[in-house]
Amino acid sequence: MSFQMPVELGKVREFARAVKSRNPAHRGLDALMPPTMLTCARLLWQPREQDALTELGFDMKRLLHGEEEYVFHGPPPRVGQTLEVTTRVADRYEKPGKRGGAMRFGVVVSEFRDEAGELVAEQRTVLIETAKAPR
């Protein structure tokens, strides 16, 4: 599953403000994207029919965010770049829950490549589906 993510000035400004960044690198016409903004790629730019949650089949009422990891292969992307994002389900497994039932885990990996096809960053997300919906 792949899609494009334009690194837009307005979105970078909004995200930097939302996370209360005071870093001057996140300001100006050629601002660097705050590193954790990569998380927004799947939420804002990925078509719903390509979403890893659809592939995992997890119930949104029982979904927990377990872990987030980023690896950068150079500086964070800069305003004006368009990244090609490829997302895949890298792993699935189950563990017994402490309150009964099994918890299902899904590991989603996204690769971010620049216009030249160079790997800029990787993101690894662990999602957890609990056995029972909260009351």
Q: Which residues of 4-24 are buried (b: 16+ CB within 10 A; e: fewer)?
A: ebebeeebbbebbeeeebeee
d(CA 12, CA 33): 6
Q: Residue 53 CB: number of other CB atoms within 10 A?
A: 17
Per-residue pLDDT of the chain (135 residues; tens, 9 = 90+): 788 999 999 999 999 999 999 999 999 899 999 998 998 877 777 776 667 778 888 888 888 899 999 999 988 999 999 999 999 999 999 998 877 788 999 999 999 999 999 999 999 999 999 987 556
Domain spanning 2-129, CATH class: alpha beta
- Give the pLDDT score at 135: 64
- Residue 70, classified by CB atoms within 10 Å of its CB into exposed (0-12), middle (13-18) or buried (19+), is middle
Domain range annotation of the chain:
2-129
- Give the pLDDT score at 131: 86
Strands in the chain per DSSP E: 2-6, 63-72, 82-96, 102-113, 119-129
Enter the tokens of residue 128. 């957890």
The string of DSSP letters for 93-104 reads EEEE-TTSSEEE
d(CA 113, CA 102): 36
pTM greater than 0.95? no
d(CA 36, CA 69): 9
Give ∠ CA 69-54-126 in degrees, rounded to 5.
20
